[in-house]
Structure 1
Amino acid sequence: MISMQWWAPLIVVYLSTCLEAFQHQRKALYPNAFRIKRGTYSLINPTFQRSMKDVNLLFEILLSGMQIQDGDPTMLIPDEELASLRSVEKLEVICEDVVPRRLSDIRRLTAELAQRQRPLSQTDFERTVLTLVYSAQTLARLEDQQQREAWTDSVMELFKAVQKDLRFS
């Protein structure tokens, strides 16, 4: 008969591996969503799209030529009527506080997205698309060739992540 002492270390290793895998899965793709600077509880982990109407509105805003940029204001919507809508406030918070802006943060995000084996949540998909928009707009403004190559890689990886997620659906 095999003693329990032999199995104990194996069980501990197995359980710690399972725990680490579980914590890795729960790791937030967009940690800034839980650290909103404005201090309003209702804006913690903000989501713009809650209905089909919101999806259509976001599409219309993107088509109007919305710019996500560094500085103040963070988000520019050329269509004054769209820009004046109250629901656009959450989109501004997402673009200002949640969407990663630094190349290193975007690379971390793309690495996590590449390893992902399940579909993104609706909220994470929305944020990934907005990160793709920001990255593409940043790439268009760059003149330094090295920076352009680095941002091009990130744009391509974000595009692959969106494409992969659409195949899951």
Structure 2
Amino acid sequence: MMQCWALLTFVYLSIYLAATQHHRKALYPSAYRIKRGTFSLINPTFQGSVEDVNLLFEILLAGLQIEGEEHTMLIPDEELASLRSVQKLEVICDDVLPKGLSDIRRLTAQLAQRRQPLSWQDFERTVLTLVYTTQTLARLGNQQQRQAWTDAVIQLFKAIQKDLISS
């Protein structure tokens, strides 16, 4: 009888640990890795104030382009691009956002399983990932690739919508 309780306790603790680690798993693990030659930030975020939110909106309206694997971010407005705070946005776009379809699918699967609202850092990154994914979709010609990226765009949109509704 004592062995049965010990076994049940062990199983319960194992399940509990697995569940708590699942909820703590980072949606954007690369945000916690420092890369050489980048603006040395751990867990970089762009929006720290209302002014930053407005600036991000201006940058998006100006036509922010996030390119793929070559890690380039382009802001057509030279004045906006020259702002010092844009360096953080470059680090996020170049080093934090997932660029491969498999990484984006992993992200959307994790977002679909979430029961709690996103942190504001993860919300910001998810919106920027949606921007990147939409821009990538617009450049594709292959119908199969377009369908796969369209599914990713829809899943990211649903995750953002769900987060906005639950907040």
TM-score with structure 2 setting the length: 0.96
Distance 1:147 1:73 in 2: 20
With over 3 angstroms needed to count, the CA separation of the structure-2 counterparts of 1:71 and 1:80, relative to structure 1, is farther
Matched, 1:52 2:50: yes
The percent identity for this pair of structures is 74
- Give the equivalent residue in structure 2 for 1:130: 128
- 1:77-112 deviation per Cα after TM superposition (whole angstroms, max 9, x unaligned): 011110000000000000000000000000000000
Distance 2:76 2:35 in 1: 26
- Give the equivalent residue in structure 1 for 2:164: 166
Considering only aligned residues, what root-mean-square deviation do their CA atoms show, in Å? 1.4
Distance 1:18 1:39 in 2: 40
Q: 1:34 is aligned with what amino acid?
A: Y
- Whether the 8 Å CA contact 2:44–2:88 is kept in 1: the answer is yes
Q: 1:92 is aligned with what amino acid?
A: E
- Give the equivalent residue in structure 2 for 1:94: 92
Distance 2:79 2:164 in 1: 31
Distance 2:48 2:84 in 1: 14
- Whether the 8 Å CA contact 1:36–1:98 is kept in 2: the answer is no
- Whether the 8 Å CA contact 1:64–1:79 is kept in 2: the answer is yes
Structure 2 counterpart of 1:24, from 15, 22, 38: 22
Task: Give the CA deviation at 1:40.
Answer: 6.2
Task: Give the CA deviation at 1:42.
Answer: 4.3
Structure 2 counterpart of 1:119, from 94, 117, 120: 117
Tell me the SS of whatever aligns to 1:46: coil
Structure number with greater Rg is 1
Structure 2 counterpart of 1:150, from 148, 153, 164: 148
Point out where structure 2 has 5 or more consecutive residues left out of the alignment.
Answer: none
